[in-house]
Amino acid sequence: MWSRFLVAVAGVLLAVAIAVRTGLVGFVWPGAIIRLGWYGPDADRLTSLVLAGSLAAFLLAGLHLRGRRQATTSEPGAVVGPVAAVLGLVVAATSAVAVVFPDTPYDAAAPACRGAYLQGSDFYAQTVAGGASARTGPGRGFPQVDRFAGDCTLGFSGYCIGEPVTNDLSDLVDARWLIVNGSENLVSSAVLQVQSQPASTTAATPDPRCAKLGGFPLPNALKFTAKVSRQQPNQVKLTATAKGAPLIGYAEKIVDPVDGVYPYTPIGSPKSNAPRFAGVWIADSDVDLLKGRTGRMHIAASACLSAGFPIGDPAVYEARFKAGRIVSLKALAQLPGDASMLANTACYGTRN
C-alpha cells in the first residue's frame, strides 16, 4: 500500500512538472499561470525541483518494494546499487528537461525577464538598459501594471496600434504596443530591441483584443502623388496621405541597373510631417546607375507604424529615363512583385 501511494504521488508530481515546464498549462489555462505567477526562470527552477521530487518518490517506492523482497539480504550492494542508479536517472531526467525546455529559449538573445512567461510566445524583444513598463492599454496614459528590468527578454503574442513614442535608437516614432505573452498588458515597442519579427499573420493586422484594450484602428488606405518639379527636371516632389499613419516612407528601385548595383534605396528617413508627409526625390544622385543612363526606376511610398515596420499596401510610380533625364512619370495600376521589398525599404529609411 505504501509503495502504491508513493507511485501515485510521483506520477502526479511528474505530470504537473512536465505540464508547467513545457508550457502546456500556459496554453490550456493561461489566466491561472498569470494569476499564480507560475512562469519565468524562478518557476522553471522550482519545476525542476518538483520533477526531481517525483523521481525521488519513484525511487523510494522502488526501494520499498525491493526491501520487502530482500528483507533477509544483508549485502550492501543490494541497496546502494539501485540507489545510485535511480539518483543517476534523476539527474539525467532533470538535465534533459532543462535542455529540451530551457528557462530562456535558445533563439532569445538575453535571459528571460523575471516574471516573463516565454513559452508559446510568437516573437521576442529585449528591454533596453533602463527597463520597460507594462500598461493596461497602448499609451503612457494607461495605468502601469508591471515593470521589467533592463537587458532581458520578453515574449509577445501580438501588437496594438497606440500612442506614438520616440525610439531613441532611430529617432523616429513607434506606434506599436506589444502584448506581453500570457496577458493583456502592453509594452511600447519604442523601448525595446526586437529580437525576432512577428509571424506574417501576426504582423499583418493588430491583435483582435486591441479593440477592448483601447487600440487605434488601422491607418486608411495610402494615397501617393509624385510630380516632376518644373524648375528641376530630375527633381520629383513626393506627397502621401494615410490617416492614422504615424510615418510614411519613400524608396526607389533601379529597375534597369548597371551590373553589380543593389537596386533598392530608401529616400531619406520615413516622414512624420503629417498630413502630407512631403518629401523630395533627387533622381540625379542615382541616374548614373542606369545602364547608359537610360531605363526605369520605381518610386514607392508606404505607411509605417515604426522604422522597419510597414503597414498596408504601398503605392508605386514608374519613372522612365533617357540620356539621364526623366521623360515620363506614371503611377502603376498594379503593384510589382517586389512591392513588399519596396515597402520594407521605404520604412527602414536612415537615421536622421
Q: How confident is the model at residue 79 (pLDDT cuts 50, 70, 90)?
A: very low
pLDDT per residue as tens digits for the range 108-160 = 668 888 878 787 788 999 999 889 999 999 999 999 999 999 999 999 999 99
pLDDT per residue as tens digits for the range 172-220 = 999 999 999 989 999 999 999 888 777 766 677 999 999 999 999 999 9
Domain annotation covers residue 245? yes
Which is higher by pLDDT, 79 or 318? Answer: 318
Domain CATH code at residue 267 = 2.60.40
Distance (Å, whole) CA 144 – CA 185: 9
Same domain for 90 and 146, yes or no, is no
Average pLDDT, the chain: 81
pLDDT at 48: 63
Same domain for 240 and 129, yes or no, is no
Domain annotation covers residue 190? yes
Domain boundary among 44, 69, 100: 100
Distance (Å, whole) CA 275 – CA 303: 12
Residue 94 belongs to domain spanning = 2-100
Total number of domains in the chain: 3
pLDDT at 103 > cutoff 60: no
Same domain for 337 and 241, yes or no, is yes
Domain CATH code at residue 167 = 2.30.30
Domain annotation covers residue 287? yes
Same domain for 179 and 234, yes or no, is no
